Amino acid sequence: MAFPTETVYGLGANVEDRVAVSRVFEVKGRPPTHPLIVHIGGAQHLGDWVQDVPATARVLAERFWPGPLTLVLRRGRRVPMEATGGLETVAVRVPDHPVALALLSVFGGGVAAPSANRFGSVSPTAANHVRAELGDAVDVVLDGGACEVGVESTIVDATGDTPSILRPGGVTREDLETALGRPLAVHSASSVRVPGQHPSHYAPQARVVLVEPEKVAAEAELARQLGHQVGVLVPSFLTGTAVKAHAVVAVPRSMAAYARGLYGFLRELDQRGCDLIVASLPVEEGLGLAIANRLRRAAGPRPS
């Protein structure tokens, strides 16, 4: 079953049902070593799924749940190895969406859910994205409208004394640092700590090329002359400049609006037949850090 969260739509299975969990891997086309996030209905249930809750994790859970934050902790016995790709840790979060929370509350257990897209492609931020991508392979899609945040949760390794960010996302680094009262390291690029985070991910069908913001228009023109159907994500400060391309999307000035729209923009450019997308990275602070992370990975080398 697919369900909405505030970040992206998830493809859910009872984490304690090994058959259901293996079906999720199958439908996504995801390697079995790539661990899933366990969704729970409230911070008060965290202790049921992990071995212990260190003080740092408790502070973060109290401050940010329900919300786009995932905590990696030592795996409790209720979580089968199949869900964690064989790891001794487990990723847990409480989503901030009324439909997800109602589902979790009625169900009462833990729901293992990756983003409801084919492995490596753009995450779904609306119910019709899930249908378009997974078709009949998913029996039910709960439609909770468009996702408010639009990029996935921030993943924090909270197993040790020094928490670190494994994947930037909907909760900003700045907000985490304020809550903890200390700086946080970010291991998001090619960290070995996060299995399955290979270079190409969050990728549309079109190839993605990243250039400096002031070079976007020239790069798009060059690609057009080379015969590409070019799609452009036009940086907000260039809005108003004529950019010649097959399809043009003006990037919202607000980072929250950009994050909310990002995956939809990439899907739209695919749908309009673009084979190449020219974009630039936003400033990597606040939600800009997560947006830049997704764009880099979308532009990463593809498996041939």
Alpha carbons 129 and 138: distance in angstroms, whole number: 12
Q: Does position 56 bind Mg ion by CB under 5 A?
A: no
Take residue 274 and report the two structure tokens written for it.
């673009």
Q: Which stretch binds ligand TXA (CB under 6 A): 35-43, 137-145, 224-232, 250-258?
A: 35-43
In angstroms, what is the C-alpha Rg of the chain?
A: 19
Q: Does position 115 bind Mg ion by CB under 5 A?
A: yes
Beta-strand pair 207-210/276-279: parallel
Residues 84-123 that bind ligand TXA (CB under 6 A): 84, 87, 89-91, 95, 113-115
Q: Does position 293 bind ligand TXA by CB under 6 A?
A: no
Q: How many residues does this entry show for the chain?
A: 304
Q: Which of 153, 164, 172, 280 binds ligand TXA (CB under 6 A)?
A: 153
Q: Does position 72 bind ligand TXA by CB under 6 A?
A: yes
For residue 61, what are the contacts with CB-CB under 8 A and spacing of at least 6?
43, 46, 53, 69, 71, 94
Q: Are 180 and 156 in contact (CB under 8 A)?
A: no
Residue 158: strand, helix, or coil: coil
Query: How would you list the strands of the sheet with 247-250, edge to edge?
Result: 207-210, 276-279, 230-234, 247-250
Alpha carbons 219 and 300: distance in angstroms, whole number: 18
Q: Which stretch binds ligand TXA (CB under 6 A): 17-25, 51-59, 68-76, 210-218?
A: 68-76
Q: Least CB distance from residue 30 to Mg ion, whole Å?
A: 9
Phi, psi (degrees; rounded to nearest 5) at 250: -85, 125
Angle between helices 173-180 and 55-64 (to 10 degrees): 120
Give the one entry of Mg ion, ligand TXA, none that residue 84 binds, where binding means its C-beta sits below a cut-off of 5 to 8 angstroms depending on kind: ligand TXA
Q: Least CB distance from residue 62 to ligand TXA, whole Å?
A: 19
Residues 164-183 that bind ligand TXA (CB under 6 A): 166-167
Give the one entry of ligand TXA, Mg ion, none that residue 206 binds, where binding means its C-beta sits below a cut-off of 5 to 8 angstroms depending on kind: none
Q: Which of 1, 99, 184, 194 binds ligand TXA (CB under 6 A)?
A: 194
Interaction mask 195-224, ligand TXA, x per CB under 6 A:
xxx---------------------------
Q: Does position 36 bind ligand TXA by CB under 6 A?
A: yes
From 67, 134, 82, select the one nearest 112 (Cα to Cα). Answer: 82
Alpha carbons 146 and 126: distance in angstroms, whole number: 5
Give the one entry of Mg ion, ligand TXA, none that residue 63 binds, where binding means its C-beta sits below a cut-off of 5 to 8 angstroms depending on kind: none
Q: Are 138 and 124 in contact (CB under 8 A)?
A: no
Q: Which stretch binds Mg ion (CB under 5 A): 53-61, 111-119, 220-228, 230-238?
A: 111-119
Q: Which of 35, 144, 168, 261 binds ligand TXA (CB under 6 A)?
A: 35
Q: Determine how many CB atoms are found less than 10 A away from the CB of residue 77.
A: 9
Residues that bind ligand TXA (CB under 6 A): 5, 7-8, 10, 34-37, 68, 70, 72, 84, 87, 89-91, 95, 113-115, 152-153, 155, 166-167, 193-197
Residues that bind Mg ion (CB under 5 A): 115
